[in-house]
Amino acid sequence: MWVDLLLDLVYPPRCIFCTSIIPIQEERGICKACKSALPFVEGKVCEKCGKPIQDSKERTTCFDCVKNTPVYDRGWAVFIYEGMVKEAIYRFKYGGHKEYAKYLGKFMADKIKDQVLEEGFDLIIPIPIHKNRKRKRGYNQAEELAKEISKALNIPMDASILTRVKETRPQSGLSIMQRQNNLKKAFKLADSINLDQMKILLVDDIYTTGTTINYCTTLLKKRGAKMVCFLSLSIGQDM
């Protein structure tokens, strides 16, 4: 206890969203102001990917899922990918702030806990990054989030089942067709793994059009997975 207090005095805890110092007596990770202002995914969402739908009372599916029918069964996301969330994810991925996973993973576990009871997932698999990128970054942000979700929900996590064998271009800014071509032969499943009738939860930090999740889902279902859903920390807006 005294060691923690001394560390807080020397290295004051900061909010992972606004980076301001958090008073010692308050909750770690997120300041009160940010917690009340975070862009949570709420209200009406796409019945497939969980993306917020704002412009129609009749529509139940977002335009991305209409244009490209998802291969996965269902998805959920915690935040809208904008503002302070977008900035925090950037620091988490590229700024060496691996410790953010502890707090962001809790948000994700809380989001999915009811679905876990309903669906009974057997396994959590993080979306992998290429070994060169992981070596440079020091860690895979999706894997760090998956570890926290696994601990919180008591579901096994395995990062060795799915690997990225091709170093692809960033997906942002690419068209749907370019995204699909970019991912061809980018991922591989472990040769000996048996996924027969398993219910799998894929974990990633950002969901945009679903191209990556769909590609990985196809591989998993070809290997026998009964159901594949995803949980993302953040998600884009319905356009």
Q: Which helix (H) or strand (E) holds 207?
A: strand 199-207
On whether both 33 and 43 belong to a single domain, the answer is: no
For 230, the token pair is 């995803």
Average pLDDT for residues 131-155, to the nearest whole number?
A: 96
On whether both 132 and 23 belong to a single domain, the answer is: no
**What is d(CA 239, CA 226) in angstroms, rounded to the nearest whole number?**
31
- Position 222 scores a pLDDT of 94
Please give the C-alpha separations between residue 192 and each of 112, 160, 161, 166, in angstroms, as whole numbers. Answer: 29, 11, 9, 20
Share of the chain above pLDDT 90, in %: 64
**What is d(CA 160, CA 34) in angstroms, rounded to the nearest whole number?**
35
Query: What is the number of domains present in the chain?
Result: 2
pLDDT per residue over 176-231, tens digit each? 666 666 667 788 999 888 899 999 999 999 998 888 999 999 999 999 999 999 99
On whether both 115 and 207 belong to a single domain, the answer is: yes
Instruction: Give the residue from 194, 122, 199 showing the smallest Cα distance to 161.
Output: 194
**What is d(CA 238, CA 60) in angstroms, rounded to the nearest whole number?**
12
- Position 239 scores a pLDDT of 67
Q: What is the pTM of this model?
A: 0.89
On whether both 14 and 61 belong to a single domain, the answer is: no
